Amino acid sequence: MSAVPLPLDNTLEAPGTRAPLVLGTSDLASITEQVCEIAERPRPSREWLLAFGISASVTAVLFAMVGYLVWHGIGVWGVNQPVAWGFAIINFVFWVGIGHAGTLISAILFLFRQKWRTSINRFAEAMTIFAVICAGLFPAIHVGRPWFEYWLAPLPNQMQMWPNFRSPLLWDVFAVSTYFTVSLMFWYMGMVPDLATLRDRATSKIRQIAYGIASLGWRGSGRHWHRYERAYLLLAALATPLVLSVHSVVSFDFAVSQLPGWHATIFPPYFVAGAIFSGFAMVLTLLLPVRRIFKLESLITPRHLDNMAKIILATGSMVGYSYIIEFFVAWYSGNPYEGFTFLNRALGPYAWSYWIMFTCNAIIPQLLWFKRFRQSPWLLLVISIFVNIGMWFERFVIVVTSLSRDFLPSSWGYYMPTWVDALTFLGSFGLFFTLFLLFLRYLPIVAMAEVKSVIPAAGLELGPHHGHGQYWGEIPHQHDEQEGR
Amino acid sequence: MKNDDGPGRFVFPAWTNLIRPLLAVILVTVPAYLVVLVWLGGSPKTTDVGYRPEQPVPFSHAVHAGQLGMDCRYCHTTVEKAAFAAVPPTQTCMNCHKQVRSTSPRLLAVRESYASGLPIPWVKVHDLPDYTYFNHSAHVRAGVACASCHGRIDTMEVVQQVQPLSMGWCLDCHRNPDPHLRPPELVTAMDWVAPGDPAELGRRLRETAGINPSVDCWTCHR
Amino acid sequence: MNARVRLAAGVTHSNAGGSRVGRRYWRSLEELADSPAFRTMVEQEFPGLAEELEAPATAATRRSFLKVMAASLALAGLTSCRWPKERIMPFAYRPEGYVPGVPQIFATALELGGAALGVLVKSVDGRPIKVEGNPLHPASLGAASPWAQAAVLELYDPERSTTLVRREGGQRRVPTWDDFVAFAAEQATALRQRGGRGFAVLAEATSSPTVAMLRHALLGMLPAARWVEYEPVSRDAERAGLAQVYGTSLRALLHLDQARVIVAMDSDVLYGHPEALRHAREWGAARRGDGGAMPRLYAAEALLSLTGSASDHRLALPAGRIGALLLQLAAEAARAGVLLPAGLGTVSPFTAGTPEADFAVRAAGDLAQVRERGLVVVGPGQPAEVHAVAAALNEALGSRGTTVTYTIAPDPERRPHLEAVAELSASLADGTTEALWILGGNPAWDAPAELEFAQRLAACPQTVHLSLYENETSRLCRWHLPRAHALESWGDARAWDGTLSVVQPLIEPLYGGRSPAEVLAALVGEPALSAYDLTRRTFASQWGGGEDAWRRALSDGIVANTAYATVTPRLLGDAAGEAGGRLAVRPASGRELILYPDAKVFDGRFANSGWLQELPDPITTLTWDNAATLAPEDAQELRVKHGEVVRITHGGRSVEAPACVVPGQARGVVGLALGYGREAGGSVAAGAGVDAYPVRTAATAYLASGVEVQRTGRRRLLATTQEHHVIDTLGMAERGRRVGSLIREASLNEFQRHPEFAKNATWSQARPLWQEIELKGEHQWAMAIDLSACIGCGACTIACQAENNIPVVGRKQVARGREMHWIRVDRYFAGDPSDPQVRFQPMPCQHCENAPCESVCPVAATVHSEEGLNQMVYNRCVGTRYCSNNCPYKVRRFNFFNNFTKVAATTRMAFNPEVTVRGRGVMEKCTFCIQRIEAGKTAAKNERRPLRDGEIVPACAQTCPTRAIVFGDLKDPSSEVSRLHRHPRSYGILEEIDTKPRTLYLAKLTNPHGAAGEGEASS
């Protein structure tokens, strides 16, 4: 098999030859080895334990805060009249946004036959699941009487009362829960073959049984693969519209109201772009260290980073464009309330938050026009972190500045978060990283089966009749060969 | 398909094949069971109907309203002018019981109250939530019979709740009052039956008296 | 009326001591409220209830409180598998005319500073829960002041003194009333021997004939005894001023309805006056521009008052210059042809062209034009001379008899309060007074500082203090006696104009208090007589009232034709001229400090009322605090920021208070409200504001010139309900731009030329894109608020709070922006910042037909009724707060905490049982008083009759002194509200977003001098 020597910059587009998606001397076996080895280490590294200890205790803080909140009431937060929504909703939108990259990568890129996704999709999907879990937490705790949340569900009852189907909050419940379910299935489905590999390599009885049950008796027969790919394709088709719908619906929470600064028709596309933007940024933020620590450079190549950077650049520019067009629309509409809202964002008491947002989201990503920034993992990491910060502040700006000064000057107010707000937000990161560390420890963090399909060893470059997108049928044999060895 | 179970390979044992049908059954029956449980067990029909607390005085409506045929309003005087159909003061009892059964041990509590001026602690039977404001006078004047909500009190030795008094139950009547209306002067008649079709009679009464029960929230909740 | 007649019968029955039933009943409640066992029981019970609140079954109501109370009594918190068993506790003997759960209304009167306000008190199941004005009473005309409304809360205040206290040698014993009666008897005998020498009674001002009779008896018994009357805030200067020019002490009655031109000199006739409610009514009626005429109001004042805010021309002038301005006015009047007494109208302190001079020219011109329809009125803080000159000016205009009338002042021989208390203090110091009985009041705290009254009082061997609270004074007295609240004792009182009211109790004394009359009776040897006996005796002896007259008095709340006789005094020849001469025309000497009675806690006596503490100050919107108000220019000059604590020093005395910048205040003036910073004021008053009395001497009771103001660098967070933070220029500018469309106004002439000026004053008109739903209800409720009439007093806010069980959240929550008032009074400054106009706008829920809040609630907890009401259903609310975000008027209020867990059991008795007490985590808002609507509808239906217009009145409208708020049915084209909605001045705010508010505002009309044809405008 033709091995491509490291290092090689596979981000160059040499005409004629297709740049390889995987580098190094990785053949089918070595990939299995490389990925499984991470999950098979007998005991976690000291770093992992440290990280896990920290994130677990931060999670504990989160639950403490939630308990405190439910015991005393929403008043322990900074929300008030007129700013009745604060950190909770900001964090919700923030996390949901992050929850977009995963399914986008796995579903949309899959349908678009973007092979390079294979090395990162598992990872991104995992992140999606965890982000949506964090997101789901906030709407659940932000209501005044959480014990009555079931009233949002259309259950028949002796009161003969139904929920109000006109309310975007209700749409949210359905949109987010659907998205979560589908993403979860998609993620798990994709993982079954790899779980089977782990099972097969497992030495301890517990791992055998655990992975055995998890892999649902996968044997990699042709029929298995056939069904698997059908289902995968269908799920991808199912997930794709959700990627777009979820954040559109989330944006309706604002767009459907009549509040200046919320009531805007561009919100759905603007939110979706922002979501993808923040999602990819978060993927990078997590991917870069992992890639380094677990030595996955050969699977997650500069080309992957390059592509993701480009997507960030593209969506970042869309977001920046939205920022500017909002001002134009506010001015062009002639609506004085709208006009003031945006002036107030840029120059009012919350101007600082607006300019943090603008710098992080609209200006800094523009650096990615330069190849050097797309190349260097370190610079990418810094930029992606900035984007994360910026995207959180975007939601802060939208929620708080619009509410703090609406129609009647007499009811203008100022919102100040409390320590409970802050700790709850911090805690949500604790939960996110706890789950993520568990994922790193026990599950295959790269979709081996899929990566194998794009390495040279898969023989995809042989023969004229082969080409991207036509190799599905072949993998079972490869797989069986593996077993055969 | 070749079946080479390597050393590490875990294979579902044969008996696990049972699990699939079992799972199917469980997935169907358990939710169904839970629904039924909540539906029936949780409904006011189960929790409230038949509530029949012990009263401090063994007062028998069956005797007073039934055998003696006393009108409800002899004791519950305020039912036509106020929201509450007030439980009568001890005075009212003693109007008769000064003479009748004036030494009966069962009336001890009443005589004590009469002497001390302290109230008799009756136990509330028909107990609406505190955010629900029910007005007796409005219903009685409109021709909704006592029996419609309280049942055949005249047959009860000990008063008990016979209707769920749930929101849905209220709404049913507010949406379609006709079958429950009767001439206002007959509201206290326990054994009254509508001549002919009650709905038809009700419709005429509703139209003549201009009764149009509201289903707005604030009719009952404030 | 007949309702009240019946009730009067009811009350005589249950309170006149006749029926052992009523007594029995109240005793039991009283014992309840008192016994510590009960207290603890409730404390234990309520957490339980609190949880229950959250449960779908309950948001607790007063009813549930009573039930829980009953339940816990009966079965000590035992709960069945169902939910807590609830008990029904019927009377053993039901009082005649009483229907359980049906409110009864009793007429009585509340006294403040010696002037009675007639009120109607609503009582449910024997618990007074709401104070309304008495339409028959001349000082009320159906309105009630915030102070009167808060009386209920005061009645149930658990911190009122509950026992007698005897202090001896550092010991604190708790004697009984019998002990006190015995003590009184022996003191009386001891005093009789020396004819009362060394004995003094210090009483707060009261108009009670009964007290007067007892006083007479006392002084008859003890000729050498001294009776001293003291009020920290009094109108003695006016009295003295009138005495100067008329030779006798008189009391002035103003008739604004007669006036065409009013010149208010540092005088807040619309709020800070015993008859303010009547003035406001007359003002509100006259300012609607009906018939093309409207009075014009000139106001010159140092601080920004409600009267100044309502004025057409306002001159910000240091209080020390008011006298000069008055002389200028006199001079201009003379120039305009008004014939003044000798010696007046000769000096013109202000050079022509100055704002003061222009003001005087305009005002004098108008006065001269309308003559007897003109009125010059001076504030109580101004020296006697100013009042004297003003009286002379009115006389010269011929106003006496039209816009102002005089009666002989009650108790004409009385010494002025400040002098009287000074003499008393001196006599305490030199030991000539060794026995002092203090009936009400709190002199140890509020007597002029230089008297050191507290120390002298502490030194006095025999002191007795009768008081509602065990306050600063009680602590220094040998005896403290709990006073019976006005709502729990018999008595009588006279209005400012003399009209007599009988004060009848609505409940037996919760804490066994007694009235001043009873205490005096004990001293003059009639301890057996109850307040009821004493009152009836007075009534019989002075008004020859038999049973019928008595019952009528109880039923009406007034005794007809008992007002003081109007007198026609003659002006003493040159007294006015001399007064004018004495009126030292000095330039403002240094910075002024003005100490004024607070709009909420008055002189401090209401400091323990949560309702009043949380009521925003009309001008500063400040709650829970007083502050040193400064003009913006002064703040700049002193480099003082809003909220920075400054030290104000005068004559070696100083006070530290946070600064509050108020546009429109006169330069060189610092204002500081009295009544805050109580030491022994109770837990509510504790920590609220700073005590201004330490800098208040007899000489500087109102005004201190030449004060020092230094920065301290410290800051205090001021809890205001508007501008929660200091507003930036961007926001300021935008606010300025918006006020015009929120509060639309025009001068009377503009209005006559363009009656429709208020319509379409928005940047765009909304056109619905969809089929509008039409509502099928048999009524369509709506409200109209006339901004021409509203004076921004905030009475509506308190009325709403009392009616709807609105919680008090405390200063920290208000500072966070979590006040709960359902109707707020928005205050805007318009025009030139250096000389701003103040505009008020009451803001309840607008009950939009296209309510934005409704579409966004996920659980349909807020929906529209067929009768056009925007319904908020607490028990369905889960608390997403989305509705509040989507409400363009931000009138929705959220329970961020459970605001009732800390409310004491006794205070819960003030809850309105017809309104759910909201639990934690639910949204609430104005309901147009749905409980009253439903009650009215049910009553009409039961009586088989249509509703009458005006039969249903929400609390805010009922109490509004100016009748600015009108509520009614749009389906009835002849209803008042329909008429107003059709009125050319009517407009809805934010129409452009098509919310279709059911609350329309009537644009404000002004009547400034100089608008084209102004001459006619005023006549």
User: ipTM score here?
Assistant: 0.90
d(CA A41, CA C455): 84
Asked if the C-beta of A241 comes within 8 angstroms of chain C's C-beta atoms, the answer is no
What pLDDT, on a 0 to 100 scale, did the predictor assign at position A15? 59
Whether B119 and C91 lie within 8 Å, measured CB to CB: yes
What pLDDT, on a 0 to 100 scale, did the predictor assign at position C357? 92
Chain Cα centroid distance, residue C260: 27
Whether B138 and C866 lie within 8 Å, measured CB to CB: no
DSSP C469-499: S--TTGGGSSEEEEBPPGGGS-EEEE-TT--
**What value does the mean pLDDT take over residues A296-306?**
83
**What 3-state DSSP class applies to B219?**
helix
Summarised one tens digit per residue, pLDDT across range A143-160 is: 999 999 999 998 888 888
Residue C77 in this model has a pLDDT that exceeds 70: no
Summarised one tens digit per residue, pLDDT across range C818-837 is: 999 999 999 998 888 788 89
**What value does the mean pLDDT take over residues C170-175?**
88
> A266: how many CB neighbours lie within 10 A of its CB?
15
Chain B positions touching C92 (Cβ under 8 A) are 89-91, 113-114, 116-120
**What value does the mean pLDDT take over residues C322-337?**
91
What pLDDT, on a 0 to 100 scale, did the predictor assign at position C169? 79
Using pLDDT thresholds of 50, 70 and 90, give the confidence band for residue C22: very low
Which of C725, C882, C896 is the closest to A169 by Cβ?
C882
Whether A209 and B1 lie within 8 Å, measured CB to CB: no
Which of B89, B123, B214 is the closest to C94 by Cβ?
B89
Residue C17 in this model has a pLDDT that exceeds 90: no
Among residues B178, B175, B177, B173, the alpha carbon closest in space to that of B163 is found at B173
What pLDDT, on a 0 to 100 scale, did the predictor assign at position C759? 87
What pLDDT, on a 0 to 100 scale, did the predictor assign at position C1011? 58
Using pLDDT thresholds of 50, 70 and 90, give the confidence band for residue C526: confident
Chain B positions touching C871 (Cβ under 8 A) are 216-218
What pLDDT, on a 0 to 100 scale, did the predictor assign at position A447? 84
Residue C901 in this model has a pLDDT that exceeds 80: yes
Which of C818, C828, C877 is the closest to A81 by Cβ?
C818
Contact partners for chain A, using 3 or more CB pairs closer than 8 A, are B, C
Q: Among C890, C926, C989, which would you mutate to test the A interface (most chain A Cβ atoms within 10 Å of its Cβ)?
A: C890
What residues 348-387 of chain A have any CB closer than 8 A to a CB of chain C? Answer: 348-349
d(CA C23, CA C8): 16
Chain Cα centroid distance, residue C230: 21
Among residues C390, C353, C375, C377, the alpha carbon closest in space to that of C301 is found at C377
Q: Among B2, B3, B5, B9, which would you mutate to test the A interface (most chain A Cβ atoms within 10 Å of its Cβ)?
A: B9
Summarised one tens digit per residue, pLDDT across range C475-519 is: 999 999 999 999 999 999 999 999 999 999 999 999 989 999 999
A184 contact partners, CB below 8 Å, separation of at least 6: A129
The pTM (predicted TM-score) of the whole model is 0.88
What pLDDT, on a 0 to 100 scale, did the predictor assign at position C64? 45
What pLDDT, on a 0 to 100 scale, did the predictor assign at position C13? 33
Tell me which residues of chain A have a C-beta less than 8 Å from any C-beta of chain B: 156-161, 199-203, 208-209, 211-213, 217, 219, 221, 483
What residues 242-271 of chain A have any CB closer than 8 A to a CB of chain C? Answer: 253, 256-259
Summarised one tens digit per residue, pLDDT across range B186-201 is: 999 988 888 888 889 9
What residues 6-45 of chain B have any CB closer than 8 A to a CB of chain C? Answer: none
Residue A38 in this model has a pLDDT that exceeds 90: no
Give me the amino acid identity at C493: A
| Closest alpha carbon within chain B to A208 | B10
What residues 143-182 of chain A have any CB closer than 8 A to a CB of chain C? Answer: 143-149, 151-152, 161-164, 166-170, 173
What pLDDT, on a 0 to 100 scale, did the predictor assign at position A475? 42
Whether B164 and A158 lie within 8 Å, measured CB to CB: yes
Chain A positions touching B132 (Cβ under 8 A) are none
The region that residue C879 occupies, defined by phi over 0 for left and psi between -120 and 50 for alpha, beta otherwise, is left
Among residues A263, A289, A304, A282, the alpha carbon closest in space to that of A402 is found at A263
d(CA C534, CA B53): 50
Among residues C497, C500, C498, C502, the alpha carbon closest in space to that of C515 is found at C502
Chain C positions touching A75 (Cβ under 8 A) are 813, 818, 896-897
Q: Among C880, C922, C991, C995, which would you mutate to test the A interface (most chain A Cβ atoms within 10 Å of its Cβ)?
A: C880
Among residues C983, C932, C934, C980, the alpha carbon closest in space to that of C959 is found at C932
C623 contact partners, CB below 8 Å, separation of at least 6: C613, C614, C615, C616, C617, C719, C720, C721, C811, C814, C819
Whether C90 and B82 lie within 8 Å, measured CB to CB: no
Residues written for chain B: 222
What pLDDT, on a 0 to 100 scale, did the predictor assign at position C723? 75
Structure tokens at A357: 């947002």
**What value does the mean pLDDT take over residues C26-40?**
42
> B209: how many CB neighbours lie within 10 A of its CB?
16
Among residues C468, C522, C517, the alpha carbon closest in space to that of C492 is found at C517
Using pLDDT thresholds of 50, 70 and 90, give the confidence band for residue C161: very high
Summarised one tens digit per residue, pLDDT across range A354-413 is: 999 999 999 999 999 998 888 888 999 999 999 999 999 999 999 999 999 999 999 998
What pLDDT, on a 0 to 100 scale, did the predictor assign at position C98? 86
C726 contact partners, CB below 8 Å, separation of at least 6: C641, C642, C643
Residues A412-449 as b/e (b if ≥16 CB within 10 A, e otherwise) read bbbbbbbebbebbbebbbbbbbbbbbebbbbbbbbbbb
Summarised one tens digit per residue, pLDDT across range A87-104 is: 999 999 999 999 888 888
C642 contact partners, CB below 8 Å, separation of at least 6: C635, C659, C660, C661, C718, C726
Using pLDDT thresholds of 50, 70 and 90, give the confidence band for residue C24: very low
